[in-house]
């Protein structure tokens, strides 16, 4: 007679999901917001890698390129997360002299390598050129051919030390860190209205410097194999500050409250709302 198996413990749908899938974060971000945060991660990591003259001035061009490349190539979430991992590895090198001059080309090289690592079947170099709108038929003066694209891939591979591997617990922890990095650039996330307001340019610059110091001096990739990083814990800490659960009342809707001047001393003159 076979032994009776122990009663199984049911896990929540979230617990059953892996951090490299959008559904893992669905109680905090919808898919569109999740994708937007990941795109912001990629663009901001490029800003960490390159000086302002190469990215900040052309920030909109870089972001447009990232969005269009991901859209046209139908790059998976997992490949984008791995590509961002490659960008952080390059940040840790602390030497940007041998990077491709154009941050868009570096991102292209990272996406090609991440896609090859993450998928058995991938585009040919000719297909990547068509996706980018380049190649022999292109009228773009900066277009390049298959040989140059292959050279770009080898250059990025060399910069990564020919180490493109990322898997297991290290991968899952990285996915959580990446989303924390992206979410840090949100000023307010109004859950009730489903809207996100991003930080100002000045604050973004300050936070980029903070994260550059973190990735360069404090971040140890080896610890990702033993620690537990959880975006959901970080998210809970933002409740009431960055995360707003209730919609602010509109000035154009009827209300049971009205404002009146309060008689106060000149040193503390102020207004307040009192119930009708």
- pLDDT tens sequence across 57-67: 556 889 999 99
Residue 62 lies in a domain: yes
What pLDDT, on the 0 to 100 scale, is given for residue 22? Answer: 79
Q: pTM for the whole thing?
A: 0.80
Taking only the tens place, the pLDDT of each residue in 86-145 is: 999 999 987 767 899 899 999 999 999 999 998 888 899 999 999 988 755 544 545 678
Integer Cα distance of 111 and 66 in angstroms: 10
- Radius of gyration of the chain from Cα atoms? 23
231 vs 265, residue with greater confidence: 231
Provide the percentage of residues in the chain whose pLDDT is more than 90: 56
Q: Which two tokens stand for residue 162?
A: 């020919």
Residue 274 lies in a domain: no
Residue 89 lies in a domain: yes
The domain that contains 45 carries what CATH number? 1.10.472.10
Residue 27 lies in a domain: yes
Residue 270 lies in a domain: no
Integer Cα distance of 79 and 267 in angstroms: 59
What pLDDT, on the 0 to 100 scale, is given for residue 93? Answer: 86
Residue 9 lies in a domain: no
Domain count, the chain: 1
13 vs 123, residue with greater confidence: 123
87 vs 9, residue with greater confidence: 87
What pLDDT, on the 0 to 100 scale, is given for residue 260? Answer: 35
Residue 106 lies in a domain: yes
Does pLDDT of 85 surpass 80? yes
Range(s) of the domain holding residue 162: 22-244
Q: Per-residue pLDDT averaged across 151-180, rounded?
A: 94
Q: Per-residue pLDDT averaged across 34-46, rounded?
A: 94
What pLDDT, on the 0 to 100 scale, is given for residue 144? Answer: 76
96 vs 7, residue with greater confidence: 96
Residue 7 lies in a domain: no
Among 238, 231, 234, 237, which Cα is nearest to 196's? Answer: 238
What pLDDT, on the 0 to 100 scale, is given for residue 187? Answer: 95
137 vs 275, residue with greater confidence: 137
């Amino acid at each position: 007679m076979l032994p009776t198996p122990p009663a199984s413990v049911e896990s929540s749908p979230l617990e059953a999901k892996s951090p490299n899938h959008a559904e893992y974060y669905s109680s905090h971000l919808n898919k569109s917001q999740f994708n937007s945060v990941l795109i912001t991660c990629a663009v901001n990591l490029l800003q960490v890698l390159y000086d302002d003259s190469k990215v900040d001035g052309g920030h909109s061009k870089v972001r447009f390129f990232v969005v269009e490349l991901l859209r046209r190539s139908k790059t998976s979430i997992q490949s984008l997360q791995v590509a961002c991992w490659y960008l952080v590895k390059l940040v840790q090198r602390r030497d940007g002299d041998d990077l491709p001059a154009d941050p868009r080309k570096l991102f292209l090289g990272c996406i090609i390598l991440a896609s090859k690592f993450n998928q058995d079947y991938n585009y040919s170099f000719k297909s990547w050129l068509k996706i980018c709108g380049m190649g022999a038929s292109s009228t773009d003066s900066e277009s390049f051919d298959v040989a140059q694209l292959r050279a770009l891939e080898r250059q990025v591979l060399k910069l990564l030390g020919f180490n493109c591997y990322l898997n297991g617990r290290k991968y899952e922890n990285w996915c959580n860190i990446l989303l924390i990095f992206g979410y840090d650039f949100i000023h307010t996330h109004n859950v009730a209205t489903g809207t996100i307001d991003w930080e100002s340019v000045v604050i973004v610059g300050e936070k980029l410097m903070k994260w550059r110091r973190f990735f360069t001096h404090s971040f140890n990739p080896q610890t990702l194999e033993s620690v537990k990083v959880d975006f959901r814990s970080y998210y809970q800490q933002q409740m009431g500050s960055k995360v707003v659960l209730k919609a602010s009342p509109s000035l154009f809707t009827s209300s049971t409250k009205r404002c009146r001047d309060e008689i106060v001393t000149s040193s503390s003159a102020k207004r307040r709302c009192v119930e009708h």
